[in-house]
């Protein structure tokens, strides 16, 4: 080092960095590019006594920390209302999402259960019964067939045994002449029984994989050969031999020989009643009792009863009384259901179904689809239950000779598609 040189001669290298330099509030820091942009008037707030050198950065950091710790200003009433609204909307959305996820999971589990039961049951016949028109008998039956066909893609046929002209075919989207009718089947019964392919291809499926054997003309006369008990039984048995699941819509006159013949073909009966039609509800108990008195008590006591068109505020148990005999004020005057061991359930009102248009399962509400999933599960489980019950009972020789049919005791017969029953 050269002695005697001044500070100015030494330049920046001779600056005494160990000696703190006092900076006042009016001071600015000169950089190579000029005044430091961060050292603006708003930033140059110096504590009493000032600060020196690098501690200025520390001071700014402390100011930021103190600002974050500061208590926010109290919101106004309008702001509080807006915050409350947003919080409530968020809570409702989270609850709706959770409920939707729960419904989706339940639907997936129900579909899996239906597939499992259908594979286990393999073949069965459902007969829908209510002696009152507009009771939801046909609609409920066709909806069940469409849901089961949509999910399982099995061979399914609806037999229109109701004198009402072509109702089943219309709900399935079939025009008159677009499907096999009762007359064709009856006149060619033996040929169709021998040739399953002709039978199945003649009854073309709709979009839900459901076929129909439809009554295309009014056949209400009791002496009509198409309604003779033997013809009805042969017709349904022909369907049972070629299809896996058969759904039979019965005439309103249940106690006729033809009506009883149709009912006896069923593995498990379904009794629909329309909540919006009081006479349909009152006729429910009467219909069930009529079949009991005609030797079908076992089928009735192990059937599925379904109340349709329920509103959200309705209590299902409040409709159980209609399985008995009721007065005009809905009070029970005679009890019929003391031995009932079947399933009692409900289906909600659905605007799409209420239009009485061609069935569109995908257009139903999720709640309605779930109700029909539950209905099909209940029916299939009852079929298995009845088969286990009857398999455990010895069959008297005289009943075996009648192919399992009796007026005194219901027998669940086993049908094999494409073969003999």
- Asked if the model's pLDDT at residue 257 lies above 60, the reply is yes
Residue 140, in any domain of the structure: yes
Please check whether residue 136 is in contact with residue 274, taking contact to mean a CB–CB distance below 8 angstroms. yes
Residue 419, phi then psi, degrees to nearest 5: -135, -170
Find where tokens 């033997």 sit.
230
Q: Please, which residues bridge with residue 272 across strands?
A: 306
Q: What is the pLDDT at residue 380?
A: 97
Among 64-73, 256-265, 403-412, the range scoring the smallest mean pLDDT is: 403-412
Q: What is the pLDDT at residue 400?
A: 55
Q: What is the pLDDT at residue 344?
A: 97
- pLDDT tier, 420 (very low <50, low <70, confident <90, very high otherwise): very low
Residue 34, in any domain of the structure: no
Sequence-separated contacts (24+) of 95-101 with Cβ below 8 Å: none
CA angle 93, 99, 104 (to 5 degrees): 125
Its pTM stands at 0.72
More confident: 254 or 48: 254
Residue 101, in any domain of the structure: no
Instruction: In whole angstroms, give the CA distance from residue 91 to residue 358.
Output: 39
Q: What is the pLDDT at residue 41?
A: 45
Q: What is the pLDDT at residue 324?
A: 93
Instruction: Name the residue among 200, 203, 147 with its Cα closest to residue 379.
Output: 147
Q: What is the pLDDT at residue 29?
A: 43
CA 287 vs CA 47, 255, 257, 281, 332: distances in Å: 96, 9, 15, 10, 15
- Which class for 259: exposed (0-12), middle (13-18), buried (19 or more C-beta within 10 A)? buried
Residue 269, in any domain of the structure: yes
Number of structural domains the chain divides into: 1
The CA R_g of the chain, rounded to the nearest whole Å, is: 40
Residue 62, in any domain of the structure: no
What mean pLDDT do residues 268-292 have?
Answer: 92
Residue 364, in any domain of the structure: yes
- pLDDT tier, 126 (very low <50, low <70, confident <90, very high otherwise): very high
Instruction: In whole angstroms, give the CA distance from residue 231 to residue 134.
Output: 26
Residue 149: alpha-carbon gap to chain centroid: 15
Q: What is the pLDDT at residue 212?
A: 82
The residues near 321 (Cβ < 8 Å, ≥ 6 apart) are 330, 332
The residues near 350 (Cβ < 8 Å, ≥ 6 apart) are 364, 365, 368
- Asked if the model's pLDDT at residue 119 lies above 70, the reply is yes
Q: What is the pLDDT at residue 227?
A: 60
Q: What is the 3-state secondary structure (H, E, C) of 327-343?
A: CCCCCEEECCHHHCCCE
- The enclosing domain of 344 has a CATH number of 3.40.50.300
- pLDDT tier, 97 (very low <50, low <70, confident <90, very high otherwise): confident
Residue 35, in any domain of the structure: no
What mean pLDDT do residues 389-406 have?
Answer: 60
Domain range for 215 is 123-400
Q: What is the pLDDT at residue 285?
A: 92
What mean pLDDT do residues 256-278 have?
Answer: 91
Residue 405, in any domain of the structure: no
Q: What is the pLDDT at residue 96?
A: 87
- Asked if the model's pLDDT at residue 84 lies above 90, the reply is no
């Amino acid at each position: 080092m050269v002695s005697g040189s001044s500070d100015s001669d030494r330049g920046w290298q001779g600056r005494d960095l160990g000696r703190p330099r006092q900076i006042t509030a009016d001071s600015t820091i000169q950089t190579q590019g000029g005044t430091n942009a961060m050292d603006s008037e708003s930033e140059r707030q110096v504590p009493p006594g000032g600060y020196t050198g690098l501690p200025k950065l520390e001071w700014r950091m402390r100011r930021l920390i103190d600002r974050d710790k500061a208590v926010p200003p109290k919101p106004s009433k309008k702001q509080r209302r807006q915050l409350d609204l947003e919080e409530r909307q968020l809570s409702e959305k989270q609850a709706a999402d959770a409920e939707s996820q729960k419904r989706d999971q339940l639907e997936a589990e129900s579909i899996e259960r239906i597939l499992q039961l259908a594979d286990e049951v393999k073949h069965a016949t459902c007969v829908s019964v209510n002696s009152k028109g507009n009771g939801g008998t046909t609609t409920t039956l066709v909806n069940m067939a469409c849901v089961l066909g949509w999910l399982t893609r099995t061979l399914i046929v609806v037999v229109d045994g109701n004198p009402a002209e072509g109702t089943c075919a219309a709900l399935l989207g079939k025009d008159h002449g677009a499907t096999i009718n009762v007359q064709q089947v009856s006149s060619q019964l033996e040929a169709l029984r021998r040739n399953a392919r002709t039978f199945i291809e003649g009854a073309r499926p709709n979009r839900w994989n459901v076929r129909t054997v439809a009554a295309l003309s009014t056949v209400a006369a009791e002496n009509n050969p198409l309604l003779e008990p033997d013809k009805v039984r042969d017709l349904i048995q022909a369907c049972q031999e070629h299809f896996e699941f058969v759904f039979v819509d019965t005439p309103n006159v249940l106690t006729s020989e033809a009506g009883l013949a149709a009912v006896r073909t069923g593995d498990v009966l379904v009794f629909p009643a329309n909540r919006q039609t009081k006479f349909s509800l009152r006729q429910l108990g009467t219909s069930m009792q009529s079949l009991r008195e005609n030797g079908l008590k076992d089928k009735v006591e192990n059937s599925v009863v379904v109340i349709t068109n329920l509103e959200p505020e309705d209590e299902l148990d409040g409709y159980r009384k209609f399985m008995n005999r009721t007065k005009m004020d809905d009070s029970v005057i005679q009890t019929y259901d003391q031995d009932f061991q079947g399933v009692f359930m409900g289906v909600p009102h659905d605007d799409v179904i209420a239009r009485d248009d061609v069935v569109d399962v995908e257009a139903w509400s999720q709640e309605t689809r779930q109700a029909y999933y539950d209905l099909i599960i209940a029916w299939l489980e009852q079929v298995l239950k009845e088969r286990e019950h009857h398999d455990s009972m010895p069959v008297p020789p005289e009943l075996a000779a009648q192919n399992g049919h009796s007026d005194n005791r219901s027998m669940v017969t086993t049908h094999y598609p494409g073969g003999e029953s």
